[in-house]
């Protein structure tokens, strides 16, 4: 079921979400189905449970091949519960981000360029990956939502935050993460 996505300003987006304690339950499966439906309907790159008002540490993300951006890196569809992130370098890179909770806008956000993430899948299976660049950026963005952090809070220079249509005139920027 497609759910409403909370918009920046809603205090529920600012909570530190609670860990999942029971895996493989019908309730967790239903939550992930709703998140998947919502992300697909809005053409998002990822979604965190707090964005649909659910105070749990669950994120999903994934970016398939897009013929409009053939050079864009693909990210496998992933369900991640109780994630932990460990940076693999002290390097940061600035990159443009959007968010389904901040529709129509973009901001330039510094992120670690490489990290190891770990967590659990729907049935409690362990997930651990080392990733870089765009994949690492998407994971950092989604996991920030679990700690009540929205990307505009990380924009270093607010001159690099604005409406997509004004920042990138003429570009077809339909996707938010």
Cβ nearer to Ni ion, comparing 20 with 45: 45
Task: Name residues contacting Ni ion, limited to 94-113 (CB under 5 A).
Answer: 99
Taking the complex as a whole, the smallest distance from the CB of residue 8 to Ni ion amounts, in Å, to 9
> Of 158, 46, 54, 136, which is closest to residue 98 (Cα–Cα)?
46
Cβ nearer to Ni ion, comparing 49 with 115: 49
Active site residue 142: yes
Of 68-76, 93-101, 104-112, 115-123: span binding Ni ion (CB under 5 A) = 93-101
b/e sequence 95-124, b meaning 16+ C-beta within 10 Å: ebbbbbbbeebbbbbebbbebebebbebee
Q: Which residue's CB comes closest to Ni ion?
A: 99
Contact string (CB under 5 A) for Ni ion, positions 137-166, x = contact: ------------------------------
> Of 164, 17, 158, which is closest to residue 98 (Cα–Cα)?
164
Taking the complex as a whole, the smallest distance from the CB of residue 124 to Ni ion amounts, in Å, to 25
Grouping H, G, I as helix, E, B as strand and the rest as coil, residue 128 is strand
Cβ nearer to Ni ion, comparing 121 with 148: 148
> Of 175, 92, 103, 101, which is closest to residue 144 (Cα–Cα)?
101
Query: Strands of 114-120's sheet, edge to edge?
Result: 46-48, 58-63, 75-87, 114-120, 126-132
Of 13-21, 68-76, 77-85, 91-99: span binding Ni ion (CB under 5 A) = 91-99
Binding site residues, Ni ion, CB under 5 A = 99
**Catalytic positions:** 142
């Amino acid at each position: 079921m497609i759910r409403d996505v909370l918009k920046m300003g809603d205090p529920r987006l600012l909570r530190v979400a609670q860990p999942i304690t029971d895996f493989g339950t019908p309730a967790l499966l239903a939550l992930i189905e709703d998140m998947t439906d919502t992300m697909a309907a809005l053409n998002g790159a990822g979604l965190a449970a707090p964005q649909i008002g659910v105070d749990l540490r669950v994120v999903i993300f994934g970016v398939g091949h897009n013929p409009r951006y053939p050079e864009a890196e693909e990210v496998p569809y992933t369900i991640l519960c109780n994630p932990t992130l460990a940076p693999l370098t002290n390097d940061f890179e600035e990159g443009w981000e959007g968010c389904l909770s901040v529709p129509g806008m973009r901001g330039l956000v510094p992120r670690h360029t490489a990290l190891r993430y770990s967590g659990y899948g729907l049935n409690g299976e362990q997930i651990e990956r080392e990733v870089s660049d765009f994949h690492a950026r998407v994971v950092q963005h989604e996991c920030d939502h679990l700690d009540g952090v929205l990307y505009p809070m990380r924009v270093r220079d607010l001159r690099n935050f604005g409406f997509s249509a004004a920042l990138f005139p003429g570009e077809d920027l339909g996707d938010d993460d």
